[in-house]
Amino acid sequence: MIDLKLLEHLESYLTEQRKEKFITVLSQRTKHFTVATEDVFQLHNTSAVIRSCDVFGIQEVTIIEEQNSKHIDREIAMGAQKWVDLNRYDSVKAAIKDLKDKGYQIVATTPHENDNVIEDFDVTQKSCFFFGRETEGLSQEVIDEADSFLKIPMVGFTESLNISVSAAIILQQVTSKLKQTHVNWQLTEEEFLEKRLDWCQKTIKSYDQIVERFYQI
What is the reported pTM? 0.90
Cα–Cα distance between 147 and 167 in angstroms, integer? 18
Q: What is the C-alpha separation between 66 and 37, in angstroms, rounded?
A: 11
Domain residue ranges in the chain:
1-27+191-217, 32-185
- Percent of the chain whose pLDDT exceeds 90: 67
Q: What are phi and psi of 138, to 5 degrees?
A: -70, 150
Mean pLDDT on 128-138: 83
pLDDT, tens digit, 9 for 90 and up, residues 178-196: 999 999 999 999 999 999 9
What is d(CA 125, CA 136) in angstroms, rounded to the nearest whole number? Answer: 27
**Domain 32-185 grouped into CATH 3.30.70.580:** no
| Local structure of 162: helix, strand or coil | coil
pLDDT at 76: 46
Query: Range with the lowest mean pLDDT among 11-20, 115-124, 142-151?
Result: 115-124
Q: Are 146 and 107 in contact (CB under 8 A)?
A: yes
One-letter identity of residue 157: F
